[in-house]
Amino acid sequence: MAMDPQREVSREVVMSLLEDAHWAPTHGLNQPWRFHVFASLAARTRLGEGLQAIYDEITPVAKHIDAKRTKLLTNLQHAPVVISVGARVVTGGKIPEWEEIAAVSCAVQNLMLSAHERGLGAYWSSPPVACGGEFTRWLGLEGTHRMMGLVYLGWPQSDQLPPPSTRGDLLDRVTWHDA
């Protein structure tokens, strides 16, 4: 979806989306979601350059694709707000990692539904550079975090709306046990 990079999303609006995210279900009230908000162009450029450095670090030379590397930066310049999503996981703790990742996923869905209600576009993307330990370190977090990608936020450009969403047959994914 094309977003208007010039049209700001205020800090107040972003915080109210994050407040909705914060009410996601969470086992043991661990509230494992950790968000880093990159709002200014300078902050998004810094993030993009960081992701490019991670790309160089984790991509074997033979698999290096210039266009992919460039997009890691330009994508961040096309959305006015980008939020990195992470789950803080306590290894050996009472709550298994999958539950913390599920809780953070619920938080992201809350955020995206809230964005949609306000007419904002939101897009969850998971490039490998934003999902591994290298990114955890770049953010300055300890190793007990699982990084879960980036959410792009912005006001949709009304002349460039995305094609309508589609889904397969729901009945292929639901089994009733009612005999």
- Applying CB under 6 A, the residues found at the interface with ligand FMN are 123-127, 149, 165
Residue (48 or 149) nearer to ligand FMN, CB: 149
Least distance between ligand FMN and beta carbon 40 (Å): 24
Nearest distance in Å: CB 130, ligand FMN: 9
Coil, strand or helix at 58: helix
Binning the chain into helix, strand and coil, the percentages to the nearest 5 are: 45, 15, 35
**Residue 121 backbone class (left: φ over 0; alpha: ψ -120 to 50; beta: rest):** beta
The 10 Å Cβ neighbour count of residue 46 is 14
Q: How far is the CB of 125 from ligand FMN (least distance, A)?
A: 4
Q: In this complex, which beta carbon is closest to ligand FMN, that of residue 9 or of residue 115?
A: 115
CA distance linking residue 72 with residue 77, whole number of Å: 9
Which residue's Cβ lies closest to ligand FMN?
165
The distance of closest approach from Cβ of residue 111 to ligand FMN in the complex, given in angstroms and rounded to an integer, is: 12
Q: Are 178 and 139 in contact (CB under 8 A)?
A: no
Nearest distance in Å: CB 165, ligand FMN: 3
Q: What is the spatial distance between Cα 38 and Cα 125, in angstroms, rounded to a whole number?
A: 15
Backbone angle region of 74, left / alpha / beta, with phi > 0 → left and psi within -120 to 50 → alpha? alpha
Q: Which is nearer to ligand FMN, 92 or 164 (CB)?
A: 164
